[in-house]
Amino acid sequence: MLDKFPALTELGQLRVSDGRPHETALVLGSFRRRSNGDWDFVVGGKGYSGGLEELLRDFGVEVD
């Protein structure tokens, strides 16, 4: 499939390991919209020991 997009190149890497066994949810990065309308993927990791509930609360989502 990449032959259809020869200009594609790797922009970054985030190494993920099982070295943090108490974290049960993980955010690997985020998409950011640039001023010209294009999108970028920003690599960055954050783990949550409280699972998806903690992750959602971190983003302002109310969980019952």
Report pLDDT digits (tens) over 7-40.
777 777 777 777 678 889 989 889 999 999 999 9
Give me the pLDDT at residue 3, please.
Answer: 67
Q: Any long-range contacts for 20-25 (C-beta under 8 Å, 24+ apart)?
A: 20/47, 22/49, 23/47, 23/48, 23/49, 24/48, 24/49, 24/50, 24/51, 24/52, 25/50, 25/51, 25/52, 25/54, 25/55
Residue 6 lies in a domain: no
Residue 12 lies in a domain: no
1 pLDDT higher than 70: no
Domain count, the chain: 1
Residue 4 lies in a domain: no
Give the residue carrying structure tokens 């790797």. Answer: 10
Look up residue 12 and give its two tokens: 């970054």
Q: Which domain holds residue 49?
A: 23-59
